[in-house]
Homo-oligomer: A and B are copies of this chain.
Amino acid sequence: MNKTDIAERLRQLQLHICEALEKLDGNAKFHEDAWLREEGGGGHTRTLADGNILEKAGVAFSAVHGPVTQAMKKQLGHEGNSFFATGVSIVLHPKHPRHPIMHMNVRYFELDDHTYWFGGGIDLTPHYVDMAKAKQFHLALKTLSDKYDASFYPKFKAWADDYFFLPHRGESRGVGGIFFDQLNESCGLSKEQLFNYCTDLGELFAVVYAQQVEGEILDTASKAELDWQALRRGRYVEFNLLHDRGTKFGIYSGGRTESILMSMPPMANWLYNHVPIESSEEHITLSFLRAFHDFC
């Protein structure tokens, strides 16, 4: 299993996820932008707007290579002359405030000395926390992870709790999920098994999102719900621009801005010192995001 195989299969994964999301949305279609990177490689950025369910969605594939820069050495803590990196990233911003934002990323990284690792993560960011749906989400991640290694879910769930956190707000971005990085044979699984773990997670994405939005048809939203959604989107922006390693590294190292910032929400708002009314659903959600939770 070489880097070309991995990149090809991730590109197929991207297309498959887009197909499933289009079917789920029932209206909007993805548009594809192909781009090349001057230093080597490129990508296919697929975006969708104004769907029935999805207001703004991006599913990006890239496979890039080139010399290892000083900035990369610092971030990686690894030496190497040249690198190859490929991955799929997804962010869904739904139209309705009662549907959650969801994100996924799976990636493969290789250096010229044949050091390699996989990384990835899925996390769920509801505008309004629904405990049953949060549990359902975590159970799906645990069930899949347990097939590979029983230590993965607890370890990667804790990593996500730590990663998807806004220290300046004292809040989690959402109800968490899993996050992992620098995963290779040293964990006891073969390269093929680790790759299958990543693609299985990828295939799970649309299935899990369908579970999140199933149930009542959500046509209209109240002004209070839409106002709250815009504020939560503001927090999503804060996380991505202030804390998300991929976004910051991409922007500061001269990555393709439009592909990196496809994660930005539509219509985000900031109010000075907004405090939801005591016992309101917004208040309950905020209290939830300020505490630690186990889901399964």
Contacts and interface: CB of A to CB of B under 8 A. Distances in A.
Interface residues of A, number: 32
Contact of A272 (B167, B262, B273): B262
A113 interface: no
10 A-B pairs closest in CB distance: A264-B270, A241-B241, A47-B272, A258-B273, A168-B257, A168-B251, A262-B272, A267-B269, A241-B242, A268-B268
B270 A230 contact: no
A267 B257 CA distance: 21
A222 B175 CA distance: 39
B261 A266 contact: no
Nearest to A241: B241
B270 A266 contact: yes
Chain A contact residues: over half helix, strand or loop, or mixed? mixed
Contacts of A264: 234, 270
Contacts of A272: 45, 47, 49, 56, 58, 258, 262
A234 B234 CA distance: 11
Contacts of A187: none
A197 to B, nearest CB: 30
Interface in A258-281: 258, 261-262, 264-273
A273 B34 CA distance: 12
A261 B270 contact: yes
A192 interface: no
A238 interface: yes
Given A268-B268, A270-B265, A272-B58, A241 B237 contact: yes
Contacts of A266: 269-271
